[in-house]
Every structure is written in C-alpha cells, then in structure tokens.
Amino acid sequence: MELRPDGTLLVQTALSLSSRLSAEGLSSNGAEVERLVRLTLGGDTAAFERIIQRYEIRVMTLAARLLGARDEAQDVAQEVFLRAFKYLHRLDLRKPVEPWLMGITVNVCRDTARRRQRAQSTFVDGEGPETIDESPDPYAGLVQKQERLIVQRALSCLPEKERLAIVLRDVEGLSTAEVASILQSSETTVRSQVSRGRLRLKAAIDRMVGGEL
C-alpha cells in the first residue's frame, strides 16, 4: 500500500479497518446471548464464562486502543467483566450486549487513565498495542505497521471526547446512536465530534508524514 504524502489514503485506510483481533461471530445470535444472560442471572456462572469468551477479545482490543498497552488492557478486561457481572441485572435485554460492554470498557479505561496518568491528557502513549500481521509480504507488513503507528500517534493528539468518538465510531464500527449512548451524549454532538476529529486526525497525520514525526 502506497503511503501518500498528503496522508489522505492513510486516514481512509485506518478508519476503515476493524480490529484483526476481533473473533468471528461477535455479532452472535441475540437470542443466544439473551439466554446466557438469563442463565447467569439465575445463578449459572458457567453461562457468564461463555459471555466472557464471546466478548473478551473485543473488550481487550478496545482497551488496548484507548490505553496503548496490552498489560493494562488485560487488567481493564478483568475489571470490565467484574462490573458487568455485578450490574448485569441492569442490562436491557431488548438491546445488544456489546455496546453496553463497550460503555463499561470506556469507563474503566477512563478510571485507569486518571489513576495512572494524572499528569497526561491523553489515553494513548507510545507505539500502541501490537497487532497480528497476516501479510505474506514482509515489506507490505512493515508499511502497515508504520501506518498503524502514525495513526495511533495522531489519535493521541486529539481531545479526549473526539478521540473516543473516532475510535468507537470509525475504528470499532459502532453506530452513532450507540456511541452517543456510551458517551452519554446526543447523536448530533457525536457527529460533530467525529467530523472535527477526522479533520484533526488528518491534519496530525499530514504533519507526521510531512516529516514532523
């Protein structure tokens, strides 16, 4: 993939990619997930373990994107599922489980960031989480890694709310309504944050690609 000097292709490519670590079947049958939730509420802990198996990678991937460290992402995932188990009775079974878990993940990441990085204003620091490189061409894989690193650094330059909106909407692929629910905001506000965030992200990438890394 060619890295264009203006960064446009890089932005389009990065924002269209969903995580390679996401397992197939996360958009699993809603009735099955509802059944597992009801079994858990009835005292079946094995059912909750199956819920964890379905969503653990999804939660860890989002946490890694927000915090930029795999070890922290693992800690976050543990806390997310502890909270999920504690508050499972509050879940509206008429709605998908995944956005609810994403909301808990965002809150836990915020708590972690405040606790461990009080002097910083961004979630992401360093080179970000590693990803699996499935490319048969090692040179192509190197370019993709460079692109991911640039985007990760550019994301860290965004204001928190815009970064969260971009990650949830463009990277994680949630709907505007779901993002608004997670961030406790309106859909109009989310659209505005995503729009501004995309412009800021492109500007940051333009500077980096232009030699200001």
What percentage of the chain carries pLDDT values higher than 90? Answer: 31
Q: Choose among 200, 150, 160, 210: nearest CA to 183.
A: 160
Give the single-character DSSP code of 50. Answer: H
Segment 162-210, tens digit of pLDDT: 989 998 998 888 899 999 989 989 999 999 999 999 998 888 888 877 7
Average of per-residue pLDDT across 61-65: 87
DSSP string, 34-77: HHHHHHHHTT-HHHHHHHHHHHHHHHHHHHHHHH--HHHHHHHH
Q: Render pLDDT for 106-161 as a digit per residue (tens, 0 to 9).
A: 999 988 888 766 645 445 544 444 443 444 555 555 666 677 777 778 887 888 88
* Domains of the chain, start order: 23-123 (1.10.1740.10), 135-213 (1.10.10.10)
